[in-house]
Chain A
Amino acid sequence: MNEVIQQAKDIITGYDGPKIRIMEVCGTHTHEIFRLGIRSLLPENIDLISGPGCPVCVTPIGYIDEAVFLALEKNCLITTFGDLIKVPGTEMSLAGARAKGGNIRPVYSPDDAVEIAKENPDTQVVFLAVGFETTTPAACLAVKKAKELNLNNFSILTANKSMPNAYQKLKGSADAFIYPGHVNAITGNKVCKELKDQGVSGVVAGFTATELMTALAVTIEMLKKGEPFFVNCYPRVVRDEGSPVAIKLMDEVMELCDTEWRGLGIIEKSGMELRKEYSDFNARIKYSIPEIKGKPNPACRCGEVLQGHCKPSDCPMFGKACTPTHAVGACMVSDEGACSAYYQYGRSF
Chain B
Amino acid sequence: MCVGLPARVVSVNEGTAIIDANGAKRDVRADLLEDLEPGDYVMVHAGVAIAKIDSDDEAEGSEIMSLIS
Residue on B nearest A55 in the bound complex, by CB: B1
Counting CB contacts under 8 A, is B51 at the interface?
yes
A236-B54, A237-B52 are known; give 19 further A-B pairs, CB within 8 A: A2-B58, A28-B3, A109-B46, A109-B48, A110-B46, A111-B29, A131-B2, A134-B50, A135-B45, A137-B32, A138-B47, A185-B50, A210-B61, A211-B61, A217-B65, A218-B67, A237-B53, A243-B50, A243-B51
Are A245 and B31 touching (Cβ within 8 A)? yes
- Map CB proximity to B onto A147-160 as digits: 1 under 8 Å, 0 otherwise: 00000000000000
25 contacts between A and B (CB under 8 A): A2-B58, A11-B68, A28-B3, A53-B1, A109-B28, A109-B29, A111-B47, A111-B48, A132-B2, A135-B45, A137-B50, A180-B1, A180-B2, A182-B50, A186-B50, A206-B57, A207-B4, A210-B60, A222-B68, A231-B67, A236-B59, A236-B60, A237-B4, A237-B53, A243-B50
Whether, in the assembled complex, A208 has its beta carbon less than 8 Å from a beta carbon of chain B, the answer is: yes
Alpha-carbon distance A211/B58, docked complex (angstroms): 8
Say whether A238 contacts B64, CB under 8 Å: no
Whether, in the assembled complex, A26 has its beta carbon less than 8 Å from a beta carbon of chain B, the answer is: yes
B57: which A residues are within 8 A, CB to CB? Answer: 206, 208, 210-211, 236
- The complex places the Cα of A185 from the Cα of B5 at a distance, in Å, of 13
In the complex, whether B43 has a CB less than 8 A from a CB of chain A is: yes
- Count the A residues whose beta carbon is within 8 Å of the partner chain — how many? 57
A243 to B46, CA, bound (A): 16
Task: Please indicate the chain A residues that have their CB under 8 angstroms from the CB of B14 in the complex.
Answer: none
Closest 6 CB pairs of A and B: A109-B47, A4-B61, A134-B2, A26-B1, A182-B2, A53-B1
